[in-house]
Amino acid sequence: MMENSFFHEYFEAINKGVVSIDTKILLQASELVRTISNNSKKVILVGNGGSAAMASHVAVDFTKAARVRAINFNEADLITCLANDYGYENWVMEALKAYADPGDLVILISSSGKSPNMINGAVEANRMGLKVVTLSGFDSANPLRKLGDVNLWANSTNYNVVEMTHHIWLLAIVDYVISMSEVG
């Protein structure tokens, strides 16, 4: 019986995270993506670890399914080159300097909201005048959450719950953008 309880509570925690978001915030993020796309700009998604895998998945879905140009920075040679030359905490910032164009949107994902490379990336994106969407969890006052034009926050301290919540929210944005393009 204990095993059933674990999974029930685990899925309840994910569901609680997913439905806790104010859908107006998801709509704001979705509209930023649509505006970027309508202006022939791109979405840049960045994360660490599982969030990097999520960024890759969502970038492909934006590109293929939603017809929104999207990229991510998951090339080991890019990350290690920039981290080696500028420090791991600065590689996202340096990648944005190299790849972001005026008018682009940057989506930065950090479960804790405390990853120095994501924070420095957000600071640089703001300096460059880019639009920024952040996804974070853990502490509601985390530093990354203060740096975006739109900030999605998952109220959990469990990494997997936060990541699954972020993933569902991002895929909901992809599906919303698709649905709006079908409407007209």
pLDDT of residue 82: 98
Mean pLDDT throughout 17-40? 96
84-90's contacts with Cβ under 8 Å and 24+ in sequence apart are 88/116, 88/117, 89/116, 89/117, 89/120, 90/117, 90/120
Q: Is 44 helix (H, G, I), strand (E, B) or coil?
A: strand
Q: Is 67 left (phi over 0), alpha (psi -120 to 50) or beta?
A: left
Where are the domains positioned within the chain? 2-183
How sure is the predictor about 184, in pLDDT bands with cuts at 50, 70 and 90?
low
* Superfamily classification of domain 2-183: Glucose-6-phosphate isomerase like protein; domain 1 (3.40.50.10490)
Judge whether 62 and 33 are in contact, CB under 8 Å: yes
What angle is formed at CA 148 by the lines to CA 129 and CA 56, rounded to 5 degrees?
90
pLDDT of residue 4: 79
CA dist 36 and 62 (Å) reads: 12
Mean pLDDT throughout 108-122? 98
Residue with tokens 């934006």: 62
CA dist 36 and 110 (Å) reads: 22
Closest CA to 118 of 100, 151, 143, 81: 143
CA dist 162 and 84 (Å) reads: 29
CA dist 151 and 128 (Å) reads: 18
pLDDT in tens, 131-141: 999 999 999 99
pLDDT in tens, 68-102: 999 999 999 999 999 999 999 999 999 999 999 99
How sure is the predictor about 183, in pLDDT bands with cuts at 50, 70 and 90?
confident
